[in-house]
Amino acid sequence: MRSSRADAKFLVSCLVAAAAILAAAQTPQPAANVLVVTMDGMRWQEVFGGLQSELLTKEAGGISEEAAATATRRFGAASPEERRQKLMPFFWSVIAKRGQIFGDPKHSSVARVTNGLWFSYPGYNEMLTGSPDPRIDSNDKRPNPNVTVLEWLNHRPSFTGRVAAFGSWEVLPFILNASRSGLPANGDGPPIAKPESERERAINEFAAELPPYWGETRFDAPTGLGALEYFRKHHPRVLYVMLGETDEWAHGRRYDLYLDAAERNDRFIRRLWETAQSMPQYANRTALVLATDHGRGDTAEDWTDHGRKVPAAERIWMAVMGPGVLPLGLRADVTVTQSQIAATIAALVGEDYRGAQPNAAPPLDLGR
C-alpha cells in the first residue's frame, strides 16, 4: 500500500504534468516548413478587386475588343469580391479563410515598401533581409552584400542543406548571393540541375523549347514545374519560388496576359500547397507566405510601370497561412512593411531572425 505522503507526491507530479500539457496546447507549435512565393509586381488593385474594367481597352490595356471580351468572360463580375475570387480562387477561397491577408486599403490595411525605390532588387533585398539598403539601387547582377533570411536559415543546424529557391528571373542567384550562401538558386537555364528521372529530363527539354521572350525573365511554367519536382524529391524545409510573368506582361501593357498570369500563379500556389498536404513531412506542418517586390502605378496610363517616378508603387499586399497563424482573413486597421517578411519567414518555423540581425523589422503579428 502507498503511504499518503507518496500519494500526495504522485498527485503533485500528475498536476505538474497536466499543467505542462495545457501550456503546450496553448502555445502553438511553429511550422516545420515554410513555402514562400512571390508574384513580381502584382498590384494590390487586382489582388483585392480583381479585373479593373477601365484597363480593358486598346489604349490602357493594350488589348483588342475580342481579348477584352474573353477577359470579361473569364474574370468579369459585378462586385470586386466576385472578381477577385475569379482571378485568384485559391487565394480567396483558402488563404482568406485560413490565413491572413494584408494591404487592402478598403479596410485601412496598409502594406508598404520602405526602400523608396519601388523596383525589384531593392524590394527582394528588403523582403528577404528585413531592411532596406540604399546600396541596392539597381537590378544589376551584383552579389548581394547582405545575408538573406534564406542564407541565415541555411546556417541553422536543422535547416542546413534544406533551403532552396527557384525563380523566373536570372538575378535571383545574385539576390541570394548563391556563390557565398551555397543555396541552390535556379533563375534561368534548365530548371533541374542534375536531371535523373524521365520527368526531370522532360521538364528541362520543355524549358529549353520556350522562346526567350523577355531575355532575363523566363516564363513561370518551367520555374513552377522545376520547383514542384525539387520539392517532391528533395523535401526542403524552406522553399522560395519567385514568379515573374505578372511584371513582364504589365510592362508590356498586356492587361489580358497579366490577368492570365495571375490566375496561373494562383493555380501554381494551390498545386504547391496541395502537394505539401499530400506528404507526411508537410501536411499540417507547413506555413505559406505570399508577397510581391513592389506595387505599380494606379492609373490607366501608369499601371504598367513602377520605380522612382511612380510613388503609387509603394503600396503592396502580403498573405500568410499555416500553423500558428490565426484565421483572421482580411486584416483591418493595420500597417505592415515589406521589411517584416524576413523575420516572419523565420518566426513561422520557430527561429528568431532578429536575434541575429537586429536591423531587421519585427515579424508580422499573426496572433500566434
Shortest Å, Cβ 55 to Zn ion: 17
Give the binding range for Zn ion (CB under 5 A) out of 26-34, 246-254, 284-292, 344-352. Answer: 246-254
DSSP class of residue 147?
P
Q: Which is nearer to Zn ion, 104 or 247 (CB)?
A: 247
Q: Please, what is the minimum distance in Å from the beta carbon of residue 364 to Zn ion?
A: 25
Q: How far is the CB of 251 from Zn ion (least distance, A)?
A: 6
Q: DSSP state, 158?
A: G
Count of residues touching Zn ion (by CB under 5 A): 2
Nearer to Zn ion, 41 or 323 (CB): 41
- By beta-carbon proximity to Zn ion, the closer residue of 41 and 103 is 41
Residue 360 cell numbers, joined: 531587421
Residue span 202-241 as binding mask against Zn ion, x where in contact by CB under 5 A, dash where not = ----------------------------------------
Q: Could you say which of 151, 220, 247, 266 contacts Zn ion (CB under 5 A)?
A: 247
Cβ neighbours of residue 20 closer than 8 Å, sequence gap 6 or more = none
Closest CA to 345 of 315, 366, 328: 366
For the segment 29-88, give every residue that binds Zn ion (CB under 5 A). 41
Q: How many CB atoms lie within 10 A of CB 149?
A: 27
- How far is it, in rounded angstroms, from Cα 168 to Cα 135? 24
On the CB side of 316, CA atoms within 13 Å amount to: 33
Looking at the Cβ atoms of 112 and 162, the one nearer to Zn ion is 112
Q: Which of 262, 282, 275 has its CA nearest to residue 225?
A: 275
- Comparing CB distances to Zn ion, the nearer of 109 and 120 is 120
Could you tell me whether strands 100-102 and 318-321 are parallel, antiparallel, or unpaired per DSSP bridges? antiparallel
Nearest residue to the partner Zn ion, using Cβ: 247
Nearest distance in Å: CB 42, Zn ion: 11
Nearest approach, Cβ of residue 247 and Zn ion (Å): 4
Residue in the block written with cell 493555380: 267
Give yes or no for residue 266 binding Zn ion (CB under 5 A): no
Q: Which is nearer to Zn ion, 41 or 173 (CB)?
A: 41
Pairing of strands 185-186, 163-167: parallel
Provide the phi-psi class of 49: left if phi over 0, else alpha when psi is between -120 and 50, else beta: alpha
Task: Report whether 105 contacts 333 (CB < 8 A).
Answer: no
Q: Between residues 41 and 122, which has the closer beta carbon with respect to Zn ion?
A: 41
Q: Which residues bind Zn ion (CB under 5 A)?
A: 41, 247
